[in-house]
Amino acid sequence: FQAEDGIRDAQESRGLGDVYKRQALGGGVAALAAASAYGVTNPPFGLWPSLAAMRADYRTATGQQRHVTFAGDVAISLNTQTSLAIRSAEGMQDRIELVVGEASFATSARVARSLMVLAGDGRTIAESGRFDVRCMTTGERSSVTVTCFEGAVRIERGADVADLQPGQRVGYGHDGLSQIAVVNPEIASEWHRGIVEFRATPLVEAIEEINRYRPGHVFLMSAALGRKPLSGLFRIDQMDDALLALERVFGAKLQHLPGGIVLLS
């Protein structure tokens, strides 16, 4: 009987061991699936488009710009790393969602129809005119800015409303709607001409913008260097020139790795 009890104990132990192994394996698979799902919705360092961006109707790759026409009379310019999705019209209102990126919208006076651009948790409405919308995402949060160049646009976010005239800009995000600011239209529209300008921009912010136009990724390895201000005009198709400028101006060290990866220190 003792021998039989020992065999049963050994079998039960092996059975429990198998259960624990299956649980561990199941937990590992679940963790991998969760990590994969997060990577699809929130790509690390923006190294690839999110699932929502990939499903958009119009997209631009890193460093690419594109021009499209919507509804026959809306001219749209997409900046780099931008995704637009066409949404169903509501009544006499055409709707487009800016999933991520930056786009310019221009429309002439429309008969009894308006254009709505959805971005983040707000919307921009225009009868006619020209305006830019920029939507940047970090994790689950979006930061949106709207700039009016011609005509008039209305921005709505919940109960908050802002009406813009040419040369005005407003932003919104998790902190709500900002105050209306006055901008220089010439400077604000430089990306339309393939130019990026930095004006005493903290280097950490400038690197984020450089990464939008340049394949690969630049990693800033020094917090002190990230606080230094950068000024200059650069072509969006020649962003490596900006990195060379950092070597000259700040004495920064560039370490180039495969895949367009650069370590900046």
- Is it the case that residue 33 has pLDDT exceeding 70? no
- Give residue 78's identity as a one-letter amino acid code: L
Residue 139's pLDDT band, with cuts at 50, 70 and 90, is confident
**Distant-in-sequence, close-in-space partners of 117: CB < 8 Å, separation ≥ 6:** 95, 96, 97, 98, 103, 105, 123, 124, 125, 133
> What share of the chain in percent tops pLDDT 70?
79
How high is the pLDDT of residue 68?
Answer: 96
Cα separation values, 43 from 40, 51, 140, 173, Å: 6, 9, 11, 20
Sign for the CA dihedral angle at 31, 36, 38, 39 comes to positive
* pLDDT tens for each residue of 230-242: 999 999 999 998 8
* pLDDT tens for each residue of 46-58: 555 566 667 779 9
* pTM of model > 0.85: no
How high is the pLDDT of residue 52?
Answer: 61
Q: How many CA atoms lie within 13 A of 156 on its CB side?
A: 9
- Is it the case that residue 42 has pLDDT exceeding 70? no
Contact 177, 170 (CB under 8 A): yes
The DSSP bridge pattern shows strands 160-164 and 74-78 to be: unpaired
- Is it the case that residue 40 has pLDDT exceeding 70? no
How high is the pLDDT of residue 51?
Answer: 65
How high is the pLDDT of residue 43?
Answer: 56
